Chain A
Amino acid sequence: MNNRKKDVVWDSNVNSQGTTSDSIERMIKVRFKDPQLPPDQNIREKYININGTVFQAITAARDAFNIPEVVPIALLFKGRRMNPSNNLVSYNIEDNALLMIVPDQIKGG
């Protein structure tokens, strides 16, 4: 049942609240890149809490580029798609890291 279990990783509580029990704030500067914008406008710097969740980083990315909530987005870091319910620390993100914004949940055929 392994691969079926894997998909239950999504944690809607962490997702919708965007918070975890670990709330110590430690801010680092990251660069969000929206590749859909022209090269001279597609990078914005933001400070995010490294002890927060990926979901919080996604919210910061929306904020940086005014992306409305109805547009599903995901973040890529060094070629890995970041799971919204994971903590940012688990990705070893360092100061000045580049986080790519990509559309999420595209499924039509």
Chain B
Amino acid sequence: MNSHLPYSKFDRQERLSIWDQSLIEKSCVLIIGIGGTGGEVAKNLSLLGVGKLILVDMDTIEFSNLNRQLLFSKADIGKNKAKIAKKVIKKRYNSTLKIEAYSDPIQSLPYRIFEEADIIAGCVDNFLARQFINEIVIELCLPLIDSATDGYFGQVQSVNPRKNACLACDSPLPPEETRLLSAPCTLVGTPRIKEHCAWKALYEFHTMNDREPDENSPDDVQEITNLANKFATDHQFPLFDTKEIIQLVLYHVPSLITVNAVTSGIQSQEIIKTLFINKMKLFKKKDQKEFKSLIRAQRFRIPDLTIYSALTGNISSFNLINDPDCLVCGNSSIYHQTPVTIDVNPKLKCKTIFTILKRRFKKNYIGFRGNFIIPAEALIESILQDGDRITVSSLDDDKEKRIRIRFNKKNG
């Protein structure tokens, strides 16, 4: 269509040393979270000419997003973020880009999506999702560039599995997140702590109203408080007041478009640099050597942690080394083991998986996907897809294993 133009639209960036547009075009980036930073990263990478983007976000667009999330407009309120972003990026920035959008929670994404990506951009707004992504990148030895913002602060962490620190190294989650750690699994099961009732109530609100609750609406806050108290009463937990509910499930951190733009700019740049390093092997031997000497000469480096403060204007970077005792990336992690492949008939119930495991390992197991408990009575095909991986935990000795599910109609 544009073949009459005298030069490529990437001409200005192709003039840079340490730049190879063909490497970027052969890359696939999985962006998880399409909000303030994720939307910016998606825009940046599409304009930089990345070959394929996979966008994931289960949230819907809210009025309060419009101060900084440029892919969305008022008419999109209530629609899924990933799906709208896909449409807008394709139309506005790059019509030839391959792009997929998923509105599922990350814990229920088909595993092949992670396997297809060359790199993951973590742009989520909570520690639970970060924990899940971190485990996957360690298991697949996939680079992760994770970002986070809070008011005037932004940070970008680069996880290069088995080389530097992962997100779990030396980094216990803050207390309130620890208490909520197993929350999502209880959406289908029994609340084990009081806070789970609040998460169940939020889930119920979504199902009933098909929208996000508004933290500033007394009606919404009261409705969720009532729902949470219904669960709390049923399961004999103390009751909530509205202040507690706001703090637990409705509080949003302050967000600035300027901080989002700087943070996502740093994150996008580190993604491109990591792609250059990891995809350099596609070059001919001679060109690889030349590329490496250029990198050395120009003092190219990918910091492990970069922090931006809009208050002082400083950007500082740090090295982070891995913790050998880290339970996700350390020496005895289950994510370093080759997963056990189990052949199952997808038409059967999930408990079949545990029966097969019991036959093979003589132990009783329960299964997890992130923090979701796999319901034994559900049909396998309604919960899992061919090639998915789950964690099983032995009820006898608490030891965990990673399991790869292979669909086979004859088995089980």
Contact = CB atoms under 8 A, between A and B. Distances in A.
B316 A10 contact: no
Interface residues of B, number: 57
A36 B124 CA distance: 25
Which of A4, A6, A108 has the most CB atoms of chain B within a 10 A radius of its CB?
A108
Interface string B283-323: 00000000000000000000011010101101010111101
A109 B35 contact: yes
A103 B153 contact: yes
A21 B309 CA distance: 37
Interface string A26-52: 000000000111000000000000000
Interface stretch (B112-120, B172-180, B403-411): B172-180
Interface residues of A, number: 29
A8 B178 CA distance: 6
Interface string B218-254: 0000000000000000000000000000000000111
B170 A109 contact: no
Contact of B321 (A3, A37, A80): A80
B263 to A, nearest CB: 10
B393 A106 contact: no
B38 A37 contact: no
Given A79-B165, A107-B126, A10 B312 contact: no
Contact of A108 (B165, B169, B253, B314): B253
B124 A106 contact: no
Interface string A74-98: 0010111111000000000000000
B109 interface: no
A12 B174 CA distance: 10
Given A81-B320, A109-B149, A2 B327 contact: yes
Give the dominant DSSP class at A's interface: mixed
A76 B170 CA distance: 10
A24 interface: no
B318 A102 contact: yes
A79 B321 contact: yes
A4 B250 CA distance: 24
Given A35-B314, A103-B307, A107-B127, A6 B148 contact: no
A108 B148 contact: yes
A3 B328 contact: yes
Contacts of A106: 148-150, 153-155
B125 interface: yes
A79 B322 CA distance: 8
A65 B124 CA distance: 31
Contacts of A76: 318, 320
A7 B178 contact: yes
Contacts of B364: none
A50 to B, nearest CB: 19
B21 interface: no
Contact of B169 (A7, A78, A81): A81
A3 B327 contact: yes
A79 B125 contact: no
A79 B318 contact: yes
B255 interface: yes
A3 B330 CA distance: 11
A78 B321 contact: yes
A16 B304 CA distance: 30
A20 to B, nearest CB: 17
Nearest to A102: B307
Contacts of B35: 109
B154 A10 contact: no
Nearest to A84: B172
Interface string B166-209: 00111111110110011000000000000000000000000000
Task: Name the 4 nearest CB pairs between A and B, nearest first.
Answer: A35-B316, A109-B125, A108-B253, A79-B321
Given A2-B327, A37-B312, A78-B321, 5 more contacts: A36-B309, A106-B154, A108-B36, A108-B149, A109-B125
Interface of B: 33, 35-38, 123-127, 130-131, 135, 147-150, 153-155, 165, 168-175, 177-178, 181-182, 252-255, 304-305, 307, 309, 311-312, 314, 316, 318-321, 323, 327-328, 334, 371, 393, 398, 400
Interface of A: 1-10, 12, 35-37, 76, 78-83, 100, 102-103, 105-109
25 contacts: A2-B398, A3-B135, A3-B328, A10-B172, A12-B175, A35-B307, A36-B307, A36-B311, A36-B312, A36-B316, A37-B314, A80-B165, A80-B170, A81-B170, A103-B153, A103-B155, A103-B307, A103-B309, A106-B153, A106-B155, A108-B149, A108-B253, A109-B124, A109-B125, A109-B147
